[in-house]
Amino acid sequence: MKAVALTRFLIEAQRERGQLAPDLRLLIEIVARACKSISHAIGKGELGGVLGSAGSTNVQGEAQKKLDVLSNEIFLDANEWGGHLAALASEEMDDPHLIPHRYPKGNYLLVFDPLDGSSNIDVNVSVGTIFSVLRCPEGITEPNAEHFLQPGVKQVAAGYTVYGPSTLLILTLGDGVHQFTLDRELGSFVLTKRNLRIAEDTSEFAINMSNQRHWEPPVQRYIDELVAGKTGPRERDFNMRWVASMVADVHRIMTRGGIFMYPLDAKTRDKGGKLRLMYEANPMAMLVEQAGGAASTGRQRILDLAPAALHQRVPVILGSRNEVERVVSYHRSYD
């Protein structure tokens, strides 16, 4: 079978299924190109002089790595001139970035985490980029943060790239989830899996166990039952994996099922959780639901949340549907 490059996949989606506006196709192609540049910079590692701290902090008070800053710049440079965007917002910028006046403005808003899992960069473990595409409200030419505050159900596309042993792009345009692998020689993303599906059941979970003492009772109960194994109420053994890069942990679930949790706990309660709604939870929730899984805060479907702030944090529980529903039912019985 002939390899299908991302460009062809997008053109066919536009032509055959009529589901893709030309400016959205351009947007996805430009995002993919930016991800290729990030992949290239990461691949150079120590030789590129890009490892280590940038000596600055972002809006959330987190220390920025050189690659956080570089990846953010790559995204801005790539996306400014195409005429497809009205503005961009990212984990690394306090406020939305408007398209400079010298370029035409488009109909979409792009929200992204340029380099997720950046604590893993210096130890050569997988990191990634997460992005979400929203429509700019009609008649708005100078969008501000408020115009980005749309619930996740309004996303028109979402995706992530994993910079691992190979670089993968996982994409949804609201019609299933598809995987592309970067062919480094050709410099293009090639379709390698259509319609990823997350198994409804699983025996694998991902959570930072060092936070156990801080969890709420429903999460304590759920994890206690899993680690009790064959002799516990679940009557089987569960395995645990935690890469500490959301993209890598979610990608494992996309590939072979599982449940990923960054629940509310005593450490993050004041902030509302650890992970960010707009550029981490929402795009991942859209992808997971499109692949047949579920995504909840424990109390609410993530995609239904009405965001109150650009950098808002939320608890995240996502993956295999039956496990997510079980955790949600435990929350219900304690609340």
Task: Report the SS3 class of residue 326.
Answer: helix
Whole-number Å distance between alpha carbons of 11 and 321: 32
Place of tokens 């499109």: 290
Q: How many CB atoms lie within 10 A of CB 39?
A: 22
Q: How far is the CB of 274 from ligand AHM (least distance, A)?
A: 6
Q: How far is the CB of 113 from ligand AHM (least distance, A)?
A: 5
Residues 80-99 that bind ligand AHM (CB under 6 A): 91
8 A C-beta contact, residue 96 and residue 136: no
Choose, by CB under 6 A, the member of 92, 113, 204, 289 that binds ligand AHM.
Answer: 113
CA dihedral for 251, 252, 257, 260, sign (positive or negative): negative
Count of positions on this chain that bind ligand AHM (CB under 6 A): 11
Choose, by CB under 6 A, the member of 5, 37, 54, 62 that binds ligand AHM.
Answer: 62
The DSSP line for 41-88 is HHHHGGGGT--SEEEEE-TTSPEEEHHHHHHHHHHHHHHHSSS-EEEE
Is residue 265 part of the contact set for ligand AHM (CB under 6 A)? Answer: no
Do the annotations mark residue 159 as ligand-binding? no
Is residue 117 part of the contact set for ligand AHM (CB under 6 A)? Answer: yes
Task: Decide which of Mg ion, ligand AHM, none touches 204; Cβ closer than 5 to 8 Å per partner kind.
Answer: none
Is residue 116 part of the contact set for Mg ion (CB under 5 A)? Answer: yes
Choose, by CB under 6 A, the member of 142, 244, 271, 304 that binds ligand AHM.
Answer: 244
Structure tokens at 286: 């859209």
Beta bridge pairs of residue 324: none
Choose, by CB under 6 A, the member of 20, 30, 69, 116 that binds ligand AHM.
Answer: 116
Nearer of residues 113 and 289 to ligand AHM, judged by Cβ: 113
Whole-number Å distance between alpha carbons of 110 and 132: 6
Whole-number Å distance between alpha carbons of 245 and 67: 15
Choose, by CB under 5 A, the member of 29, 92, 113, 204 that binds Mg ion.
Answer: 113
Q: How far is the CB of 279 from Mg ion (least distance, A)?
A: 7
Burial category of 111 from C-beta neighbours within 10 Å (exposed 0-12, middle 13-18, buried 19 and up): buried
Task: Decide which of ligand AHM, Mg ion, none touches 62; Cβ closer than 5 to 8 Å per partner kind.
Answer: ligand AHM
Q: Which stretch binds ligand AHM (CB under 6 A): 23-31, 113-121, 140-148, 323-331?
A: 113-121
Beta bridge pairs of residue 313: 276
Place of tokens 């345009």: 173
Is residue 68 part of the contact set for Mg ion (CB under 5 A)? Answer: no
Backbone angle region of 61, left / alpha / beta, with phi > 0 → left and psi within -120 to 50 → alpha: left
Do the annotations mark residue 116 as ligand-binding? yes
Do the annotations mark residue 119 as ligand-binding? yes
Binding-site residues sit at 91, 113, 115-119, 208, 274, 280
User: Which chain residues interact with Mg ion by CB under 5 A?
Assistant: 113, 116
